[in-house]
Structure 1
Amino acid sequence: MPATAVMARKHFYLLDTLNEGRTAMKQVYKLTLGTVGLLFLGVVLAAGDAFAQTAKDFVGTWTIVSAVTEQGGNKTDTFGPNPKGTLIVDAKGRYVIVFSRADLPKVASNNRTTATAEENKAIVGGSLAHFGTLSV
């Protein structure tokens, strides 16, 4: 099973394991949910006093600086060598996380509704967004 690690600006690492044989959408959902959950776990453990943390300790905006998938000893930059990404958490535990490749193509027509199949595939394959509610 591939493991995915994501590093946020403050150098907190996350790991997520994907089940093989699932549909791509379920894997994307699981990757993102696991990433967000493990980001918070990583922050709690890195902070030293895991039991004194509250959801408010995670409030703010985080910049994703790395996303790496490891399978069979091979590491791959999930969103390229310099991914763009942001995680935003509010005081009520609501979050949104967005990942994208730094080299996403621009739509030649400058109109997303008329993008070619190749442009759409590259953009969808190189980006991911998710939102939800987190509890600590």
Structure 2
Amino acid sequence: MRRPSRTGVTLSALLVLTAGAAGPATSAAGEGRPVRNALAGTWRMVSAVSDPGGPAERRPYGANPDGMVTFNENGTFVEVFQNPAIPPFASGERVGTPEENAAVVGRSLGQFGTYEVDRKGEYSSNVIIGSTWPNRNGQRWQTPVLRFIRKGDQLTEVLQAPGLPRLEIRFVRVP
């Protein structure tokens, strides 16, 4: 018997998050005043390096990663990252062999949630509502563990979680 698909539920959740039912992002201080949001927009991933310059340096999404993150003005985000070199499943079906499934899980990530900016409009925290990595569901990330540094049309995400190597992901703004 075929299991019911959760794709419709996930797609519906993403549409609700990206539709922008709430107002503009507000400051983490809870003042409710709109602030200039330095993250708002869509960003394309150009590189992702774990332990940059260190002995365990690796590229979790390959040499030429593909992915995007969108930060909506209403304080929601959605991101999908992948290694475009992941081969298609030989069967053509949605579920592959154990080896094929492991390649997908190990070289891709999709998640969505909410985020806040501080009084200067810079990232202060997020909550992951749903993720293809189930351990992240419900997690709250905030500075200094997770930082976003914007310089013009370039954005760098720096994740330095306890017990894990530093991860740097670089993005360019999608016009």
Give TM-score scaled by structure 1 length: 0.55
- The letter for the 1-side match of 2:77 is Y
More helix by share: 1
2:101: which partner in 1? 120
Structure 1 runs not aligned, ≥5 long: 1-52
User: What is the deviation of 1:73?
Assistant: 1.9
User: What is the deviation of 1:81?
Assistant: 0.6
Structure 2 CA distance for aligned equivalents of residues 84 and 71 of structure 1: 19
Q: 1:109 aligns with which of 78, 83, 91?
A: 91
- The letter for the 2-side match of 1:76 is R
User: What percent of counterpart residues are identical?
Assistant: 41
2:80: which partner in 1? 98
Structure 2 runs not aligned, ≥5 long: 1-34, 118-175
Q: 1:132 aligns with which of 103, 113, 122?
A: 113
Secondary structure of 2:58's counterpart equals: strand
Decide which structure has the larger Cα Rg and report it: 2
User: What is the deviation of 1:102?
Assistant: 1.7
Deviations 1:4-46 (A, max 9, x none): xxxxxxxxxxxxxxxxxxxxxxxxxxxxxxxxxxxxxxxxxxx
1:65: which partner in 2? 46
What number of residue pairs does the alignment pair up? 82
Structure 2 CA distance for aligned equivalents of residues 95 and 101 of structure 1: 21
